Amino acid sequence: MKKVFGMTMVIALAMVLGSFTPAQAAPAKAGKKVNNVQQHAQIININSASVDQLITLKGIGQKKAQAIVAFRTKNGNFKKVEDVMLVKGIGQKMFDKMRKFITVK
């Protein structure tokens, strides 16, 4: 009870001071990733995207984003979006999660 009341007071004080909104103050749920606020806000071109842009894709973290860029650098541009599955660690399940958010054009 004290923790809930304390957190509520901190959030209320921060809102009064104008430093952030309730959405920013809400604690993350266990097991949920919160590293990408803009997740899926736009279509990502996997042939030109930076690591920072790639990590906005669901299931893509820092290491997989770096692997995509390294693969692209070594092998050239992807010809079709399915080619991203040639990157080690990206299989059908992960591809299915990101399919509608990536392009090669």
pTM over 0.75: no
- Alpha-carbon distance of 25 to 94, in angstroms, equals 30
pLDDT band at 45 (very low <50, low <70, confident <90, very high): very high
The arithmetic mean of pLDDT across residues 8-34, rounded, is 46
pLDDT at 24 over 90: no
CATH 1.10.150.320 fits 44-103, yes or no: yes
With contact defined as beta carbons under 8 Å apart, do 71 and 82 qualify? no
pLDDT single digits (tens) 68-105 = 999 999 999 999 999 999 999 999 999 999 999 999 99
CATH 1.10.150.320 intervals, the chain: 44-103
Q: What is the mean predicted confidence (pLDDT) over 25-42?
A: 46
| Higher pLDDT among residues 31 and 91, named by residue | 91
